[in-house]
């Protein structure tokens, strides 16, 4: 079978797209790692979608959202947050630190271009009997969808809020 010039020209855009995709995979930056430092001196990794929500005046960096305080002690809030997120589909707890006040999860998007997001939830011990939450999500897909990640993080926060305020 011989390809004529017109067949070659029709297939050229698909060939260029495939070559571009392969080239972008070869030079993609390494995926961001879970946050290990405090959110006070935090800087988000460049090139990846991320979303940060914190209690007012808690994070030195400008957050994407502000979370209210809860009239729940931090140790109880840790339990509430963990139970609420563990009940969500496609989530897996990958680590805890700071006596369980920092929970790190991975979630899978599913679908054709399955990718993971790493989500850090930190319970902030505010005043006596009051706590707050920091929620930070980052995509492992370079140039990921920031709006989708924001929607997902807000849904996680809503699940925790409902669990804390039955």
Residue 147, C-beta contacts closer than 8 angstroms, at least 6 positions apart: none
Cα-only R_g, the chain = 20
**pLDDT of 99 over the 50 cut:** yes
Q: Can you tell me the mean pLDDT for 31-42?
A: 53
Domain spanning 31-164 has what CATH number? 3.30.530.20
Q: What is the pLDDT of residues 54-68, one digit of tens each?
A: 998 888 888 899 998
Quick one: pLDDT at residue 41?
Answer: 57
Quick one: pLDDT at residue 83?
Answer: 94
Q: Distance between CA 117 and CA 78 in Å, rounded?
A: 21
Nearest alpha carbon to residue 136 among 57, 47, 72, 67: 67
Residue 141 binned pLDDT confidence (cut-offs 50, 70, 90):
confident
Q: Can you tell me the mean pLDDT for 126-152?
A: 85
Model's pTM, two decimal places? Answer: 0.71
Q: Distance between CA 107 and CA 126 in Å, rounded?
A: 28
Quick one: pLDDT at residue 45?
Answer: 67
Could you state, in order of their start, the residue ranges of all structural domains in the chain? Answer: 31-164
Q: Distance between CA 93 and CA 102 in Å, rounded?
A: 11
Give backbone dihedrals phi and psi of 8, rounded to 5 degrees, phi first: -60, -45
**pLDDT of 46 over the 60 cut:** yes
Residue 117 binned pLDDT confidence (cut-offs 50, 70, 90):
confident
Residue 97, C-beta contacts closer than 8 angstroms, at least 6 positions apart: 104
**pLDDT of 160 over the 90 cut:** yes
């Amino acid at each position: 079978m011989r390809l004529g010039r017109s067949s070659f020209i029709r297939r050229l855009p698909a060939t260029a797209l495939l070559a571009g995709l392969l080239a972008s995979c070869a030079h993609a930056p390494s995926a961001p790692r879970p946050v290990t430092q405090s959110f006070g001196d935090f800087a988000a990794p460049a090139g990846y979608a991320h979303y940060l929500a914190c209690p007012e005046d808690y994070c030195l960096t400008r957050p994407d959202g502000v979370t209210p305080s809860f009239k729940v002690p931090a140790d109880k809030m840790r339990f509430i947050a963990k139970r609420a997120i563990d009940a969500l589909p496609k989530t897996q707890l990958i680590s805890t630190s700071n006596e369980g006040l920092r929970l790190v999860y991975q979630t899978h998007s599913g679908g054709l271009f399955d990718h993971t997001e790493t989500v850090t939830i930190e319970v902030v011990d505010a005043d006596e009997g009051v706590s707050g939450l920091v929620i930070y999500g980052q995509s492992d897909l370079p140039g990921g969808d920031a709006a989708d990640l924001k929607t997902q993080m807000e849904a996680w926060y809503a699940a925790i809020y409902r669990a804390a305020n039955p």
